[in-house]
């Protein structure tokens, strides 16, 4: 079989999909494809490529692009919202620590008074005073840990958008 035949077959395979071919051409092509394994494989590949293209094209107009865009916008908004929240968190921490330092003598006296009133051992109310001091630090630690965990869940968002 000459190269010309294969070239013609290749041309007909492409034209069949795009503009259509005549009955005579179709007959010639099917005869050639039965005799030529190479061209038959090429025809099959073309058919498969077109089919996958067609099936892949279905969800695309169904808003995949806009959905992805929506997610990106949502994410940007989330990041923008988180920034001031973090600043507010640090401000709250600073205030609580300053307040903690300023109120320490009074709190010490309060714990002392409470200890004397209830007869709780000195070590216990002193420990209570120490723990009271760590509460803001613990609070910050918990918030930061929660944020870390939430950030760890981000790949979920990435996976969903695919």
Q: How far is the CB of 153 from Zn ion (least distance, A)?
A: 55
Question: Does the footprint of Zn ion cover residue 15 (CB under 5 A)?
Answer: no
* 92 binds Zn ion, rule: CB under 5 A: no
- Please state the closest distance from residue 47 (CB atom) to Zn ion, in A: 16
Segment contacting Zn ion by CB under 5 A, of 36-44, 70-78, 79-87, 130-138: 36-44
CB of 65 to Zn ion, least distance (A): 40
Going by the DSSP 8-state scheme, the letter that residue 153 receives in this structure is: T
Does 29 interact with Zn ion (rule: CB under 5 A)? no
Q: Is 14 in the site for Zn ion (CB under 5 A)?
A: no
Give one DSSP letter per residue of 20-76, joined into a string.
---HHHHHHHHHHHHH-HHHHHHHHHHHHHHHHHHHHHTTIIIIIHHHHHHHHHHHH
Contact status: 6 vs Zn ion (CB under 5 A): yes
Among 39, 43, 125, 129, binds Zn ion (CB under 5 A): 39
Q: Tokens 């007959």, residue?
A: 27
33 binds Zn ion, rule: CB under 5 A: no
Q: Scanning the structure block, which residue is given the tokens 């959905």?
A: 67
Please identify which residue in 36, 89, 92, 107 interacts with Zn ion, judged by CB under 5 A.
36
To 5 degrees, how large is the angle CA 3–CA 9–CA 34? 100
Other Cβ atoms less than 10 A from the Cβ of 32: the count is 19
Q: How far is CA 136 from CA 35, 98, 101, 114, 139, in A?
A: 83, 11, 12, 21, 5
> Candidates 5-13, 72-80, 93-101, 124-132 — which segment interacts with Zn ion by CB under 5 A?
5-13
- Contact residues toward Zn ion (CB under 5 A) are 6, 9, 36, 39
């Amino acid at each position: 079989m000459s190269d010309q035949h294969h070239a013609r077959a290749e041309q007909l395979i492409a034209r069949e999909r795009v503009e259509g071919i005549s009955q005579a051409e179709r007959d010639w092509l099917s005869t050639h494809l039965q005799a030529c394994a190479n061209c038959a494989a090429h025809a099959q590949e073309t058919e498969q490529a077109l089919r996958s293209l067609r099936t892949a094209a279905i969800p695309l107009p169904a808003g995949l692009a806009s959905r992805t865009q929506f997610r990106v916008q949502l994410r940007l908004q989330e990041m923008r919202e988180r920034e001031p929240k973090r600043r507010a968190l640090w401000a709250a921490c600073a205030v609580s620590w300053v307040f903690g330092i300023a109120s320490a003598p009074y709190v010490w006296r309060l714990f002392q008074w409470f200890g004397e009133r209830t007869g709780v051992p000195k070590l216990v109310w002193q420990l209570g005073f120490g723990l009271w001091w760590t509460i803001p630090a613990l609070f910050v630690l918990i918030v930061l840990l929660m944020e870390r965990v939430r950030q760890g869940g981000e790949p979920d968002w990435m996976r969903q958008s695919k």
